[in-house]
Amino acid sequence: MIDLIEARKNQVYVNRKDSFNIECDKKSVAGSVSQRACVFCGSRVVLYPIADALHLIHGPIGCAAYTWDIRGALSSGPELHRMSFCTDLRENDVIYGGEKKLYNALISLIEKYNPKAAFIYSTCIVGLIGDDINAVCRKVSAEKNIPVIPVHSEGFKGTKKDGYRAACEALFTLTGFDNESEVPKHSINILGDFNLAGESWIIKNYYKEMGIDVVSCLTGDGRIDEIKKAHRASLNVVQCSGSMTFLAKLMKEKYGIPFIRVSYFGIEDLSEALYEVARFFKEKELIDKAAELVGRELSVIYPEITKFKSRLEGKKAAIYVGGSFKAFSLVKALRHLGMKTEVVGSQTGSKDDYDYLKEICDEGTIIVDDTNPLELSHFIEERGVDLLIGGVKERPIAYKLGIAFCDHNHERKIPLAGFEGMVNFCREVYSSVLSPVWKYSPAYRKRKGGTV
Amino acid sequence: MLLRHTTDKVAERSALTINPAKTCQPVGAMYAALGINKCLPHSHGSQGCCAYHRSSLTRHFKDPIMATTSSFTEGASVFGGQANILEAITNIFALYDPEIIAVHTTCLSETIGDDLNQIIKKAYQEGKIPKGKKVFYASTPSFKGSHVTGYSNMTTGMVQYFSENTGKPLKQINLIPSFIEPSDMAEIKRITTEMGVKFVMFPDTSGVVNGPMDGKFHMYPKGGTTIEQIKSAGDSSFTLALGRVGAMSAAKLLDTKCKVPCEILDLPIGVRGTDNFINNLRKVAGVHVPDSLMMERGQLVDVMSDMSQYTYNKTAALVGDPDILVSTAEFLVDLGIKILYVVSGTPAGPKFERRIKEIAGEGVIVKTGANADMFYFHQLIKGNKPDLIFGNTYAKYIARDEDIPLIRIGFPIYDRVGHQYMPVMGYKGGLRLLEKILTAIMDRQDRDAPEEKYELVM
Mean pLDDT of B16-37: 96
**CATH class held by domain A309-447:** alpha beta
Residues 63-122 of A with CB under 8 A from B: 63-68, 79-80, 82-91, 93-94, 100-105, 108-109, 112-113
Per the CATH hierarchy, to which homologous superfamily does domain B173-210+218-291 belong? Answer: Nitrogenase molybdenum iron protein domain (3.40.50.1980)
Q: Are B229 and B172 in contact (CB under 8 A)?
A: no
In this predicted structure, the answer to whether residue A391 has a pLDDT above a threshold of 60 is yes
What count of residues does chain B have?
A: 458
What chain A residue is nearest to B84 in terms of C-alpha separation? A30
A428: phi then psi, degrees, rounded to nearest 5: -65, -45
Q: Please give the single-letter amino acid code of residue B18.
A: I
> What are the sequence ranges of the domains in chain A?
39-172, 187-292, 309-447
For the cut 60, the answer to whether the pLDDT of residue A1 exceeds it is no
CATH topology of domain A187-292: Rossmann fold (3.40.50)
- Which among B327, B339, B324 is positioned nearest to B413, based on CA atoms? B324
Nearest to A83 among B19, B71, B142 (CB): B19
Write down the architecture of domain B25-144 according to CATH: 3-Layer(aba) Sandwich (3.40)
> Inter-chain contact A38–B51, Cβ cutoff 8 Å?
yes
Each residue of B134-159: pLDDT tens digit? 999 999 999 999 999 999 999 999 99
Mean pLDDT for all residues in chain A: 90
Please report, rounded to a whole number, the percentage of residues in chain B having pLDDT higher than 70: 98
Please give the residue that has the higher pLDDT: either A216 or A327.
A216
- Compute the distance between CA of residue B346 and CA of residue B12 in angstroms, rounded to an integer: 19
CA–CA distance from B409 to each of B337, B390, B433 (Å)?
17, 6, 9
Q: Which long-range contacts (CB under 8 A, 24 or more apart) does B331-336 make?
A: B331/B269, B331/B270, B331/B271, B331/B272, B331/B273, B331/B430, B331/B433, B332/B270, B332/B390, B333/B359, B333/B360, B334/B270, B334/B271, B334/B272, B334/B304, B335/B304, B335/B308, B335/B311, B335/B434, B335/B437, B336/B308, B336/B311, B336/B312
pLDDT band at A11 (very low <50, low <70, confident <90, very high): confident
- Residue A101 to residue B27, Cβ atoms within 8 A: no
Express each pLDDT in B307-346 by its tens digit: 999 999 999 999 999 999 999 999 999 999 999 999 999 9
Domain ranges (residues) in chain B: 25-144, 173-210+218-291, 295-451
Q: Reduced to 3 states, what is the DSSP secondary structure of residue A336?
A: helix
Confidence of residue A243 (pLDDT cuts 50, 70, 90): confident
**What is the structure's pLDDT at A131?**
93
| B12 and chain A in contact, CB less than 8 A | no
Strands lying side by side in the sheet with B199-201: B199-201, B173-177, B238-242, B262-265
- Within 10 angstroms of residue B298's Cβ, the number of other Cβ atoms is 11
Largest CA distance in chain A: 72
Q: Which chain A residues are closer than 8 Å to B92 by Cβ? A: 31
Cβ contact A124–B213 (<8 Å): no
pLDDT at B64 over 90: yes
A88-126: per-residue pLDDT in tens?
A: 999 999 999 999 999 999 999 999 999 999 999 999 999
Task: Band the pLDDT of A273: cuts 50, 70, 90.
Answer: very high
Query: What's the whole-number mean pLDDT along residues B207-228?
Result: 94
Residue contact B51–A41, C-beta within 8 A? yes
Residue A451, pLDDT score: 59
Mutate to test the interface with A, among B2, B22, B46, B78 (most CBs of A within 10 A): B46
Kind of pairing between the strands at A85-86 and A53-58: parallel
Q: Inform me whether the pLDDT recorded for A73 exceeds 70.
A: yes
CB A321 within 8 A of CB A357: no
Q: How many CA atoms are closer than 13 Å to the CA of A380, on its beta-carbon side?
A: 32
**DSSP letters of A364-418?**
T-EEEES--HHHHHHHHHHHT-SEEEE-TTTHHHHHHHT-EEEE-STT--S--SH
pLDDT band at A3 (very low <50, low <70, confident <90, very high): low
Kindly report the nearest CA distance between residue A393 and chain B, in angstroms. 6
A residues 173..232 contacting B (CB < 8 A)? none
- Mean predicted confidence (pLDDT) in A356-371: 89
Q: What is the pLDDT of residues A177-214, one digit of tens each?
A: 989 888 888 999 999 999 999 999 999 999 999 999 99
Q: What gap in Å lies between CA A451 and CA B108, rounded to an integer?
A: 50
- Please report, for residues A176, A254, A333, A443, the alpha-carbon distance to residue A250 in angstroms, rounded to integers and kept in the order given: 12, 6, 32, 50
Q: Among 3.40.50.720, 3.30.2350.10, 3.40.50.300, 3.40.50.1980, name the CATH number for the domain at B295-451.
A: 3.40.50.1980
A39-172, which class in CATH? alpha beta
Helical H segments across A283-372, by residue range: 284-312, 324-336, 351-360
Average pLDDT, chain B: 95
